[in-house]
Amino acid sequence: MKWITHLVTAFCFIFIISKYIPISYLGFMVALVASIIPDYFERVAGVRHRSVYFHNWVIPLATLILIADPTFAGIPLGYGHHLALDSLTKKGVYVGSKKRIKGFLYSTNLAHNAIVVLIHYVILMLFLT
């Protein structure tokens, strides 16, 4: 998915989650940043965020951060949402060392990105009514 898709859909997701789990404004902002940070690392640092090693190290580290300081609860929420969306794409994401979860969407296809955003928006509207 494109970074803007991750950002907009994470906003909808975190907003819905915040109705059930208390998330501070800082935690909300951290979640939004965490939702796009994997794409940032890939673009700036050249680290492939869909690789086996990246996911297998970042998720445990994000969980440790959450345990250490609940203020940063947004990190696993935003990052987890990013992974969930990436698992819907043809490239997919690794779970463990060899298993890859793949979907049918193309991350570069604007229509596929728009559909994902629209679905998140509709779900958000259902929760607001």
Q: Model confidence over 45-59: pLDDT tens digits?
A: 776 666 666 666 666
Q: Name the least confident of 1-5, 63-67, 116-120.
A: 63-67
How does pLDDT run across 58-109, given as a tens digit for each residue?
Answer: 666 766 766 677 677 788 888 889 889 998 999 888 777 678 889 999 989 9
How does pLDDT run across 4-29, given as a tens digit for each residue?
Answer: 999 999 999 999 998 888 888 898 99
Residue pointed to by tokens 């990190």:
75
What is the spatial distance between Cα 17 and Cα 46, in angstroms, rounded to a whole number? 32
Q: In degrees, to the nearest 5, what angle opens at C-alpha 21 toward C-alphas 60 and 5?
A: 70
SS3 of the chain: helix, strand, coil, percent, to 5 = 70, 5, 25
